Amino acid sequence: MSTPLEIIRKKRAEAINRIISKGYLSSKRVYVGMATCEIAAGSIEVMEVFQEAIRSGLSDVYLSQKGCAGRCNLEPTVEVVEEGKIPLKYGLVTKEKAKAIIERHLKKGEVIKEWLIK
């Protein structure tokens, strides 16, 4: 008989494996805020831009939704996380900005400094 702690360790390993199989280890991870407040500020449209980009071939990017981190007047927010670097946080992201983040940051590695939350 395994103890609950042994069971949870096994479950954690399985969970991590499932996340990895969804592409977690891609070189860039993108998180789009999707709480009521972020959605009210327009994050569904932003999410769709990223989803569409992945459908039409953007690779090596892991896309996920997230809750609200609590930076109300800068929503919607989008984080771009790369291993070994400080995660970058974009604020007031619109459809157009999302497209630019895909083209300039995700594809070419150019950080769009003026849109970052400081």
Partner 1 sequence: MPARFNITLCDGPSCIHKRSKEIVLRIEEELKKHALTDKVGINLSGCLGMCDKGPVMIINPGYAIYGSFTEEDVPEIIQQHILKKKPVVRFIVDEDHLYNRFFRVFGDVNFFGKQMRIALRNCGIIDPENIDDYISLRGYEALARVLTDMSPAKVIAEIKKSGLRGRGGAGFPTGIKWELTAKEKSDEKYVICNADEGDPGAFMDRSAIEGDPHTIVEGMVIAGFAIGASRGIVYIRAEYPLAVKRIKKAIAEARESGFLGENILGSGFNFEIEVRLGAGAFVCGEETALMLSIEGHRGMPRPRPPFPSVSGLFGKPTLINNVETWANIPVIILDGASWFSSLGTEKSKGTKVFALAGKVKNTGLVEVPMGTTLRQIIYDIGGGIPGDKQFKAVQTGGPSGGCLSEEYLDTKIDYESLAKAGSIMGSGGMIVIDEDSCMVNIAKFFLEFTQNESCGKCTPCREGTKRMLEILIRITEGKGTEKDIDKLQRLGNMIKKASLCGLGQSAPNPVLSTIKNFRAEYEEHVHNKRCRAGVCQHLLVYEVTDKCVGCAACKKACPADAVSGSPKAKHHIDINKCIKCGVCFKVCKFNAIRKS
Q: Which two tokens stand for residue 115?
A: 């849109």
Query: Could you tell me which stretch among 41-49, 50-58, 69-77, 99-107 binds partner 1 (CB under 8 A)?
Result: 69-77
Q: Does 56 bind partner 1 (CB under 8 A)?
A: no
Cis peptide before 76 (omega within 30 of 0): yes
Q: Is 100 in the site for partner 1 (CB under 8 A)?
A: no
Number of helices (H) and strands (E) in the chain: give both, helices first.
Answer: 4, 4
Q: Please name the helix (run of DSSP H) or strand (run of DSSP E) that holds residue 46, with its range, or none.
A: helix 43-55
Q: Which residues bind partner 1 (CB under 8 A)?
A: 1-5, 7-8, 11-12, 15-16, 18-19, 31, 33, 35-37, 39, 64-73, 77, 79, 81, 83-89, 111, 113, 116-118
